[in-house]
A and B are shown apart, each in its own frame.
Chain A
Amino acid sequence: MIYLLASLGFGALFFMLKTYLQLNSFYLIAFSLGFLILISFFTGKFFSKIGLPAITGYLITGLILSPYLTGGVPVYVLKATKFIEEIAIVFIAFQSGMEIELKFLKQYGKEVIRLTMLIALFAFAGIFATSLFLLKKFPGNVLNTSIILGILLILKSPLSTIAIIKESNTNTLFGEKILGIAVFKDVLVVTLFAIIVPLLTSGNSSAKLIVYGLIGSVVFGILLGFLISLYMKHIKAEAHVLIFLLALFITELSYIHLDPLIISVIVGFFIKNFTVYDNEFSKILNTFSPILYLLFFTLADSGIDVRNLIPLIPVSLLFIAVKWVFTMLGISLGTKDVSLRKYGAIGLLNQSGLSLALIVLAEAAFPVEGPIIKGIVITVIVLTDIFAPALFKKVLVKVSTEEAN
Chain B
Amino acid sequence: MKEIFVVALLIGAVSYFASDIVFNRRYGFVKYSGIELYIVGVLFSFVTDKNIISSLHIFVIVALTFIGFSFGIQFDRNTVKRITFKELSFAFLFSLTFFVIYLLLGLLGFNDNREVLSMILSMPSVSFLFAIGEKRFSVVSSEISIVFVLLFGSFLKFGFSTLVVFLLSPVFAFVLFFFEKALNKEEMNIILFALLLIESSLSASLGFDPLLSSWLFGFVFALLSNSQVFIKSFDALERPLFLSLLFFIGANFGSGFYELPKLLSLILPALVKPAFGGLLFHSNPLLFLPIGAMGIAVAAESNSSKIMTFTVISYFMFLFLSEVFRRKFLK
Contact = CB atoms under 8 A, between A and B. Distances in A.
Given A31-B197, A245-B6, A248-B6, 19 more contacts: A24-B205, A26-B55, A27-B58, A27-B201, A27-B204, A30-B58, A30-B61, A30-B200, A31-B198, A31-B202, A34-B195, A34-B199, A34-B201, A37-B197, A41-B194, A45-B187, A240-B236, A245-B13, A251-B6
Interface string A70-90: 000000000000010000000
Contacts of B191: 38, 41
A252 B2 contact: yes
A35 B198 contact: yes
A30 B10 contact: no
Interface string A300-341: 000000000000000000000000000000000000000000
17 contacts: A26-B55, A27-B205, A30-B200, A31-B201, A33-B197, A34-B197, A35-B194, A38-B191, A41-B190, A240-B240, A242-B13, A242-B17, A251-B6, A252-B2, A287-B236, A290-B186, A294-B190
Contacts of B201: 23, 27-31, 34
Contacts of A30: 58, 61-62, 197-198, 200-201
Nearest to B200: A30
Given A28-B201, A255-B3, A238 B240 contact: yes
B61 A83 contact: no
A26 B198 contact: no
Interface string A41-82: 100010000000000000000000000000000000000000
B262 interface: no
A16 interface: no
Q: Which 9 A-B pairs have the closest CB atoms?
A: A34-B197, A34-B198, A37-B194, A31-B201, A30-B201, A27-B201, A27-B205, A34-B194, A38-B194
Contacts of B236: 240, 287
B49 to A, nearest CB: 16
A231 interface: yes
B190 A245 contact: no
B57 interface: yes
Interface string B1-37: 0110010011001001100100000000000000000
Interface in B168-207: 179, 182, 186-187, 189-191, 193-202, 204-206
Nearest to A289: B186
B146 to A, nearest CB: 25
Contacts of A23: 201, 205
Interface residues of A, number: 37
Nearest to A286: B186
Most chain B CB inside 10 Å of its own CB: which residue of A6, A29, A238: A238
Contacts of B243: 241
Interface size class of B (residues with CB under 8 A): 35 or more
Most chain A CB inside 10 Å of its own CB: which residue of B2, B3, B55: B2
Nearest to A242: B13
Interface in B194-234: 194-202, 204-206, 233
B6 A249 contact: yes
A364 interface: no
B187 A41 contact: yes
A357 interface: no
A29 B16 CA distance: 30
B20 A237 contact: yes
Contacts of A404: none
Given A23-B205, A235-B17, A249-B6, A290 B190 contact: yes
A128 to B, nearest CB: 38
B229 to A, nearest CB: 14
A1 interface: no
Interface string A214-254: 00000000000000000100010110111011001101100
B328 interface: no
A291 interface: yes
A91 to B, nearest CB: 15
B136 interface: no
A28 B204 CA distance: 11
Nearest to A248: B6
Nearest to A38: B194
Interface in A1-43: 2, 6, 21, 23-24, 26-31, 33-35, 37-38, 41
Nearest to A244: B240
A76 B22 CA distance: 43
B81 to A, nearest CB: 31
Contact of A29 (B2, B3, B58): B58
Contacts of B198: 30-31, 34-35, 38
Interface in A236-279: 237-238, 240-242, 244-245, 248-249, 251-252, 255
Nearest to A291: B190
B50 interface: no
Nearest to B183: A45
Given A30-B58, A35-B198, A241 B205 contact: no
Contact of B2 (A45, A83, A231, A244): A83
A241 B239 contact: yes
A35 B194 CA distance: 7
Most chain B CB inside 10 Å of its own CB: which residue of A26, A29, A83: A26
Interface string B43-55: 0000000000001
A83 B3 CA distance: 11
A313 B191 CA distance: 35
Nearest to A287: B236
Contacts of B204: 26-27
A35 B197 CA distance: 8
Contact of B9 (A24, A26, A245, A291): A245
Contact of A238 (B16, B193, B195, B205): B16
A83 B1 CA distance: 12
Given A26-B55, A27-B58, A248-B9, A2 B182 contact: yes
Most chain A CB inside 10 Å of its own CB: which residue of B17, B193, B200, B236: B193
A241 B13 contact: yes
A28 B190 CA distance: 19
A287 B189 CA distance: 10
A251 B6 CA distance: 10
Nearest to A82: B2
Contacts of B62: 30
A252 B190 CA distance: 26
Nearest to B32: A237
Contacts of B206: 21
Contacts of B233: 287
A37 B13 contact: no
Nearest to B55: A26
Contacts of A252: 2-3, 6
A26 B239 contact: no
